[in-house]
Structure 1
Amino acid sequence: MSYLLEPLQVGTLRLSNRLVMPPMATAKSESDGEVSQAILDYYMEKSEGGYIALIIIEHSFIKQEGKASEQQLSISNDSVVKDLRELADVIHRNGSKAIMQINHAGSATTEEIIGTTPVGPSAVANPRKGNVPHELTDEEIEDIIDAFCNAARRVKEAGFDGVEIHSAHGYLLNQFFSPLTNKRADEYGGDVHNRIRIHLKIIKAVRTVVGEGFPILLRLGASDYMSGGTTIEDSKIAAREFEKAGVNILDISGGFLGYTIPGSTEQGYFAPLTEAIKKVVSIPVILTGGITEVQAAEQLLAEGKADLIGVGRAIFKDSKWAQKAMESLR
């Protein structure tokens, strides 16, 4: 019996196996964030044969002030939908499901990239960038919630199989979640329930616009691994609330630490986080983090550490990794 080859049904989403290609920025889009031929070619190559059940597209900015880097993909206006539909079609023709990740960088960007002062929950220095953002007003927060909502609508209109809300790796929603960057004294700051208030409002708004059957994923930076930052105990509370709010799959990664743990050579190094979260939710959980061997993926699934396995850099380096892995299990 192979755990990795097992199909999984999540609401309306049927996955042929448990392998996920997590979002990885390519910096291959056009200068205005539109889909380029290079992006179409890249995802055509990665999805060939349909060996990867689920491909989560690289993070895409929901509005200009939330753009993280040059040549980042855009989901910020209706004009991008047509070309994104072509991208979804490329992946579907190869037999994989496609999810699009939507994001706002918050203070994890620069004035050079966005043309204005970066924003954040509080006017405190970003632990990774060092810059001090403009503190968002209530009105500006509502505008960001609307931008996430409109981005999710575009994802559905483009024909993707679901949408993933990004709250990891030190970006805006992670900044609200983390006590390191959220020093607010209003309804968005203080205890963990307040720090995830913006998440819950976004989930509600997104669910309203995409409908009940459309899968919503959330990528959660479940620990900052920094003194005074978010902990797994915070994330267990958040995970339960996200499930109640209507999230269908939780995609677990690091917070301000990013997507790696310095010095860790263990495959599936975020497994302690996914294992703890699986104990408090009933929805599927994705584990990524340094997984390069198919037997490591099998073991993590067999031990109940996660429901789905994300393999990033190994697939990035070798587009045949998934084919070789799946054929080795048959």
Structure 2
Amino acid sequence: MEEKEKLLCIIGPTAVGKTKLSLDLAKKFNGEIISGDSMQIYRGMDIGTAKITKEEMAGIPHHLIDIKDPKESFSVYEFQQLVRKKITDISNRNRLPIIVGGTGLYIQSVIYDYQFSNSGKDEKIRVQLEERSKLEGIEILYEQLKQVDPQAAEQIHPNNVRRVIRALEIYLSTGITMTEFKAKQQKTLLYDVALVGLTMEREKLYHRINERVNQMVQLGLIDEVKKLYDQGLKHAQATQAIGYKELFTAFDGEVSFEDAITTLKQNTRHFAKRQLTWFRNKMPVEWFDMTDPLDYEKNLQKISRYVAGMLNFKANT
């Protein structure tokens, strides 16, 4: 039997401390980091996606960052194919591939035997749905999705036009909901994988999220979003991300910047809650509580032992 490639995944909600841990584990295990964030692929979207800087990388190779223009779309299938190739490339150099991120579906598509097919694709239905979203508003379609597939609706943001339409397209063209379609997928792990999940006491996490948003604003988030706004990217896939769409409403004059930032904090907190629920329900994760910063070194040692044991991979001393 062919030996599986080894893979470490570090997952968890936004602002929980994945980046710091990933750097420390990459040093310990001769690792290279693959971004598992669906928005860090876009150039010029640095502050709002909490993208790691060149200085912070500390010489550790990072992959799948800044590979797309914000005008371009990006699919789960494309991510799956790119990441699987990177895993093989890194493994062939006797280094440990480490996926780090909070986009659960993207990571799940890589580590499981997740097949993408043309089933549920019907251009005629999709065009009709797109026309309806323009005429009636995406809210009407989202309500329809909640009726036919409440589980899918729970995982899709109401403003994510592309994914709402895709979920309805699958149902209307096949009679099978997106949730049922995903349930039929094979749940065979393709890699010898260690899934490390980071969690934190909720109030502490929410405080960190609020502080992170304040810091983003100080670093120039509003100017970053203004550049995208001026490029006419209001309806681009990239700008549906939290941190961008909220500020677009302020540039449209619909709300004040102060209110937009309050909404941004609220949406990020809700997103973190959804991320935790998703990971707990979908993957065999080993969870580590990062609430107390004084316990960080102890947690690092504990996580290192877990990874070494799971992957039979010797850590650097």
Query: Which TM-score applies when normalising by structure 2?
Result: 0.30
Give the structure with the larger helix fraction. Answer: 2
- Larger Cα-atom Rg: 2
Give the structure with the larger strand fraction. Answer: 1
